[in-house]
Amino acid sequence: MGLDVDWAVRWLTLSAQAMAEHREELIELDRPIGDSDHGENMDRGFKAVMLKIAETPPETAGAALKLTAMTLMSKVGGAAGPLYGTAFLRAATALGEAADIDAATLASAFQAARDGIVARGKAESGDKTMVDAWTPAVDAAAAAAGDSDVHKVLAAAAEAAEAGAVSTDPMLARKGRASYLGERSIGHRDPGAVSSALILRAAVGAAE
């Protein structure tokens, strides 16, 4: 059994809860290397997503992710809005009209999301950005997809993203506002990588 629109809506709901719960943490992570607004922006953006879903309940998982993409692009400031918007839009395109998402399709959607982030932000692994959470997540999801178990794909992606976020601590930022700090960016965790890990962990919770 794969994943459906109900899972997608639960995923977005749990993501919104995570952004609210971790709002202050994300703000504090962003304070030394950004604009101190990542937590506020993500919380506001996902609250807006919840309102849109309530107004127009999506009929497919792809539609839910497309609605999320458009809402985040319009409601989230800074770099996060365009990056997450592109990620969800690319994932929505990968899912298409599928009513039942299998492991391979799920892994492909995660890869499409990551590729969208890379295309939009021009960042690579090691640049101390959300890509450092997404790329290991994509690799882990692809490896787990061979078992044809969507739950294994979700869990592998979330665990890899969480480890990837932690891995940004010693990195020198090479992209975004943090890159202006040079050596002073070392020792700080990237807030975008952390919010990415929170979103991917929410996807696991939605399937349980």
- Above 90 in pLDDT, residue 125? yes
Domain residue ranges of the chain, discontinuous segments joined by +: 5-207
pLDDT at residue 182, as a whole number: 82
Report d(CA 68, CA 50) in Å as an integer: 9
**Mean pLDDT of all residues in the chain?**
95
Mean pLDDT in residue range 140-159 = 96
Look at the pTM and tell me if it is higher than 0.85.
yes
* Residues 51-76 pLDDT 10s: 999 999 999 999 999 999 999 999 88
Using only the alpha carbons of the chain, give its radius of gyration: 16
- 1 pLDDT tier (thresholds 50, 70, 90): low
Q: DSSP code of 148?
A: T
Report d(CA 150, CA 141) in Å as an integer: 9
What amino acid is encoded at 26 in this protein?
L
User: What string of H, E and C letters represents the secondary structure of 29-95?
Assistant: HHCCCCCCCHHHHHHHHHHHHHHHHHHCCCCCHHHHHHHHHHHHHHHCCCCHHHHHHHHHHHHHHHH
Please name the CATH architecture into which domain 5-207 falls.
Answer: Alpha Horseshoe (1.25)
